[in-house]
Amino acid sequence: MFAFKLAYVASCVAILAAPVTSTVYISTPPNNCNAYDENDVDTSACLANKINQGGLGLLVIDQQVSFHPGGSLAIATANEDAARIAAFLSNHSSELDQVVLTMDSHQRYHIAHGIFWQNATGDPPELYTTIHAQNISDGVWMPRDASLHDYVLTYTQSLEASGKFSLTVWPEHCLIGSHGHNIVSDVLDAALEWTKQSLKPIEYVMKGSNPFTEHYSALRAEYELPYDPSTSLNTELIKTLQRSSKLVIVGEALSHCVNFTVRDLVDNWPAERLSDLIILTDCSSPVAGYEAEAEVRLQSGGVCEGAASRRLTSSCLPRRLTQEFLSDMAALGLTLTTSAEFYA
């Protein structure tokens, strides 16, 4: 009896000592129902929820209220993007075998929000302030939680070493449970009508809930944390997306979350199938301030050196720029078109 009590206490201590993750779990469609007994009645539910091999898939990235006019991080043309996405969903409803909606999902206390930081006088940074590793070393900016000093220094050094970008202080956006977190109504309504007609569930993918790393890509965080599996590469989502014979990609913002999601997808996609990844360029727009980079110069030789390889070389950095992103993807063989010109 004593041994049992001792084991029980030890297990409780282990649970309390275990790191708490911020993973948001959403039901993932099964990729394989063969492991189940075909005579088991539960297998029918597995098969009904399974994404068929082949068919058309639609990946809608972060089409949320915060990124639309009136939202905290508004993109001027996001409403027009959403209207075209909704029309595409309706027009191709019978062809679509899977619809995936990703959702930026943040805590208010977040490394890229102003309340995380302060200067020597205790004031927070202004919106869109860039915080470099050197600023932290020099004491210009510091985390309000002093115990995180070494972590944020390492974090910002890692971002800068990647060549993609430095830490930017964004307006608080897509806060979990807030109105800004919602999918915009026209896209959601079209997706809900699709699920009614197709008898297939919508796949919701939430990312960004860990407050200590940014999570632009829908597939992994910018800085992966070993204690939180939600920050690591989402291999199950990749497997699900790969079941589509063609995958159409839309959403916000073209300069950031679409950019980095597609780059991660390309890194984990069969080379011979890259043309099956289709970006609808009229269904996505860059964050304000990146409009100049969004001018696509596909005919001007504006393709990064080395972009013929699947993994982009350092000469393609910084990779955040929309023009570079679209040029790189065209060079790699992805299909760039518009919703009006698309045909399955």
Per-block mean pLDDT, blocks of 10 residues, the chain (344 long): 43 41 52 66 76 90 98 97 99 97 99 98 97 98 99 98 92 98 99 98 98 98 97 97 98 95 98 98 85 36 33 32 89 98 83
The pLDDT value recorded for residue 26 is 54
The pLDDT value recorded for residue 180 is 99
The pLDDT value recorded for residue 35 is 61
d(CA 61, CA 254): 9
Nearest of 17, 43, 87 to residue 248 by alpha carbon = 87
pTM of the shown model: 0.83
Nearest of 264, 240, 251 to residue 319 by alpha carbon = 264
The pLDDT value recorded for residue 163 is 85
Pick the CATH number of 55-107+172-292 from 3.40.50.1970, 3.30.830.10, 3.40.50.720, 3.40.50.850: 3.40.50.850
The pLDDT value recorded for residue 37 is 65
* Torsions phi, psi for 294 (to 5 deg): -80, -5
The pLDDT value recorded for residue 343 is 80
The pLDDT value recorded for residue 305 is 36
d(CA 254, CA 62): 10
DSSP 20-69: PP---------S--TTS-TTSTHHHHHHHHSPPSSSEEEEEE--BGGGST
The pLDDT value recorded for residue 46 is 78
**CATH 3.40.50.850 intervals, the chain:** 55-107+172-292
By CB atoms closer than 10 A (0-12, 13-18, 19+), residue 118 is middle
Structure tokens at 6: 């001792």
Q: Is the separation of the CB atoms in 75 and 288 below 8 Å?
A: yes
